[in-house]
């Protein structure tokens, strides 16, 4: 007799969403979580606390940059670091408690502790072994370290340590110009830290539309971030006052180094599956430590499923959530499905950066005929009124059918604007469908419509 229909291991966005949906569909569900709070990396030490820090420091930046222009006079506020940290902690607690409430509401059992899977259908937590018809691994990911770099989470930190620094550093070297590096780099640059980002590739944000990446780098440079591109970091060594980062420039193999109070290592993440006992179970693994799954999220062991950062695909909370809902539906005899072609990506800097679908670079490589409609926020009245007119919307559509293939936005509220394009893509819409949709004036979203118009007879305000 099984104790539960489904046991889910990990209470991050993948695991907790799977649990709630499975319970809503009538299953008896337990979630194993070893942290003191629910929500996983995202709620505790990732998406949510970083957004609190980005918000607080954006407000500070606004007081310095734009208040006087609007006739708001007076001394700019100073930073109380302890209070800012307390605000961030409150935001986290509010959200993790919210998940606890949802578990109670949906009768999901929280098994506190770290899980292992001694045999198919069994989950061991502490001294107790629980039986389940299905087990879902939703254990997420951890920061991947770099050779020659030892992380102590005090001087040489990952994003986790960067969220709880004892003081605002004077100088910081960020290794890696990906999402974490640029979000956390922005936070500290706005707090007055001299931030230098060292990136292996010749452009920031690999995989992103090249035009957006170029504009993004220009804007961040104006905000005070420095970039060393085409540089392979060799080591980060602690010194009496901070750390030294040694790197090699790829173009001429020359070596150089930078000293900083704090070094943030943001060179990617890897699946976190240790301690589960997957090897003994004979679970087939995929590339880069991922768990191999079939189209229904089942691993090579029947009854054992996996979702989120632990399997293939972008390591994003919302991708894990979608897989969580889908696996719950599969396990309830329904047809859970994730459309991997329409998963948005957002960087929560100012301006925000967002994308969905294919880039021009990908379409060129595929030899596909496409057209581009571009609209600058300079032509958007609302953006101009609030000093956020930098950036643009770039909509890409099929040259023949006009079907929307992708969208790339850098500008105000890009992370929200992208979703009308996501919905349009889910419905197989054309650029003209978007262009013919009435958009309220004055809103940022008019820039999306104008980009769609630019795919046809032309934008009005450009």
Judged by CB under 6 A, the residue of 43, 45, 99, 233 near ligand NAI is 233
Q: Shortest Cβ distance from residue 212 to ligand NAI (Å)?
A: 15
Q: Cis bond leading into 351, ω under 30°?
A: yes
* 61 given a catalytic annotation: no
Polymer length of the chain: 462
- If the CB atoms of residues 203 and 399 are measured against ligand NAI, the closer one turns out to be 203
Spatial CB neighbours of 173, under 8 Å, sequence gap ≥ 6:
195, 196, 197, 198, 236, 243, 245, 258, 260, 262, 263, 264
Binding region for ligand NAI (CB under 6 A) out of 75-83, 127-135, 297-305, 344-352: 344-352
**Positions 360 through 389 that interact with ligand NAI (CB under 6 A):** none
Nearer to ligand NAI, 3 or 142 (CB): 142
Q: Does residue 356 interact with ligand NAI by CB under 6 A?
A: no
Find the angle CA(444)-CA(446)-CA(448) to the nearest 5 degrees: 95
In the complex, least distance from residue 51 CB atom to ligand NAI, rounded to whole angstroms = 9
Long-range contacts made by residues 199-203, C-beta under 8 angstroms, separation at least 24? 199/227, 199/228, 199/229, 199/230, 199/231, 200/176, 200/230, 200/231, 200/232, 200/233, 200/250, 201/177, 201/229, 201/230, 202/229, 202/230, 203/229
The tokens for 65 are: 């940059």
Query: Is the CB of 43 or the CB of 429 nearer to ligand NAI?
Result: 43
Question: Does residue number 428 form part of the binding site for ligand NAI (CB under 6 A)?
Answer: no
Q: Is 176 in the site for ligand NAI (CB under 6 A)?
A: yes
Nearer to ligand NAI, 183 or 390 (CB): 183
Which phi and psi angles does 168 have, rounded to 5°?
-75, 120
Using the rule CB under 6 A, is 347 a contact of ligand NAI?
yes
Query: Counting contacts by CB under 6 A, is residue 91 touching ligand NAI?
Result: no
Please name the residue that has the structure tokens 């693994």: 285
Report CA Rg, the chain. 23
Using CB positions, name the residue nearest to ligand NAI: 178
Evaluate the CA torsion angle 180, 241, 170, 198 in order and state its sign.
negative
Q: Does 206 bind ligand NAI (CB under 6 A)?
A: yes
Nearer to ligand NAI, 348 or 377 (CB): 348
Question: Minimum distance from CB of 145 to ligand NAI (Å)?
Answer: 10
Nearest distance in Å: CB 12, ligand NAI: 12
CA distances from 441 to 180, 272, 438, 453, 461 (A): 34, 46, 9, 16, 13
Q: List strands edge to edge, sheet with 156-157.
A: 156-157, 262-265, 171-175, 194-198, 226-228
Nearer to ligand NAI, 346 or 455 (CB): 346
Name which position in 346, 356, 404, 455 contacts ligand NAI (CB under 6 A): 346
- Measured from the CB atom, the residue of 79 and 232 that comes closer to ligand NAI is 232
Burial class, 385, CB count within 10 angstroms (exposed 0-12 / middle 13-18 / buried 19+)? exposed
Residue 316 touching ligand NAI (CB under 6 A): yes
Q: Are 447 and 383 in contact (CB under 8 A)?
A: yes
Tell which phi-psi region holds residue 434, choosing left (phi > 0), alpha (psi between -120 and 50) or beta. alpha
Q: Does 269 bind ligand NAI (CB under 6 A)?
A: yes
Asked if 162 interacts with ligand NAI (CB under 6 A), we say no
Count of residues near ligand NAI by CB under 6 A: 25
Q: How far is the CB of 196 from ligand NAI (least distance, A)?
A: 12
Instruction: Report the residue number, 266 or 453, with the smaller CB distance to ligand NAI.
Output: 266
Q: CB of 348: closest distance to ligand NAI in angstroms?
A: 6
Q: Which position among 39, 169, 178, 411 is part of the footprint of ligand NAI (CB under 6 A)?
A: 178
Q: Are strands 243-249 and 255-260 parallel, antiparallel or unpaired?
A: antiparallel
Instruction: Give the separation between CA 446 and CA 413, rounded to whole angstroms.
Output: 12
Q: What tokens were used for 441?
A: 């004036």
Catalytic residue among 55, 58, 419, 441: 441
Q: Which of 123, 243, 266, 278 binds ligand NAI (CB under 6 A)?
A: 266
Displacement of CA 124 from its chain's centroid (Å): 31
Which residues here bind ligand NAI, judged by CB under 6 A? 146, 175-181, 183, 198-201, 206, 232-233, 266-269, 315-316, 346-348
Residues recognised as catalytic? 441
């Amino acid at each position: 007799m099984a104790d539960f229909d489904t046991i889910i291991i990990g209470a991050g966005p993948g695991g907790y969403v799977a649990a709630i949906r499975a319970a809503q569909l009538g299953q008896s569900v337990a979630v194993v979580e070893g942290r003191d709070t629910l929500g996983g990396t995202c709620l505790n030490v990732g998406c949510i606390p970083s957004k609190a820090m980005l918000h607080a420091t954006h407000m500070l930046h606004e007081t310095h940059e734009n208040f006087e222009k609007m006739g708001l006079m007076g001394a700019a506020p100073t930073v109380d670091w302890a209070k800012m940290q307390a605000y961030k902690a409150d935001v986290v607690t509010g959200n993790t408690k919210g998940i606890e409430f949802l578990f109670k509401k949906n009768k999901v059992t929280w098994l506190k502790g770290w899980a292992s899977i001694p045999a198919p259908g069994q989950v061991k937590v502490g001294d107790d072994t629980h039986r389940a018809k299905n087990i879902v691994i939703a254990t997420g990911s951890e920061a991947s370290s770099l050779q020659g770099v030892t992380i102590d989470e005090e001087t040489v930190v990952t994003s986790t340590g960067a969220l709880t620094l004892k003081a605002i550093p004077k100088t910081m070297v960020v290794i890696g110009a990906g999402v974490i590096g640029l979000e956390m780099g922005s936070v500290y640059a706005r707090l007055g830290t001299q931030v230098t980002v060292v990136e292996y590739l010749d452009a920031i944000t690999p995989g992103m539309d090249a035009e957006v990446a170029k504009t993004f780098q220009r804007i961040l440079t104006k905000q005070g971030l420095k970039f060393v591109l085409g540089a392979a970091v060799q080591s980060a060594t602690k010194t009496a006052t901070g750390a030294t980062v040694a790197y090699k420039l790829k173009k001429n193999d020359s070596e150089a180094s930078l000293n900083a109070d704090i070094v943030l290592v943001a060179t990617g993440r890897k699946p976190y599956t240790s301690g589960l006992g997957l090897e003994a179970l004979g679970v087939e693994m995929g590339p880069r430590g991922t768990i191999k799954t079939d189209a229904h999220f089942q691993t090579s062991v029947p009854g054992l499923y996996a979702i989120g950062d632990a399997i293939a695909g972008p390591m994003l909370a919302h991708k894990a959530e979608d897989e969580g809902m889908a696996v719950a539906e599969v396990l309830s005899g329904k047809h859970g499905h994730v459309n991997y072609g329409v998963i948005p990506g957002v960087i929560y800097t100012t301006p925000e950066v967002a994308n969905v679908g294919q880039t021009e670079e990908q379409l060129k490589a595929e030899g596909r005929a496409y057209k581009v409609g571009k609209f600058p926020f300079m032509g958007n009245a609302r953006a101009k009124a609030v000093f956020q007119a930098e950036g643009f919307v770039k909509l890409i559509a099929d040259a023949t059918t006009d079907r929307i293939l992708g969208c790339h936005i850098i500008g105000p509220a890009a992370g929200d604007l992208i979703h009308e394009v996501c919905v349009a893509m889910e419905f197989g819409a054309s650029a003209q469908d978007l262009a013919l949709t009435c958009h309220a004036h004055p809103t940022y979203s008019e820039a999306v419509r104008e980009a769609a118009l630019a795919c046809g007879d032309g934008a009005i305000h450009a």
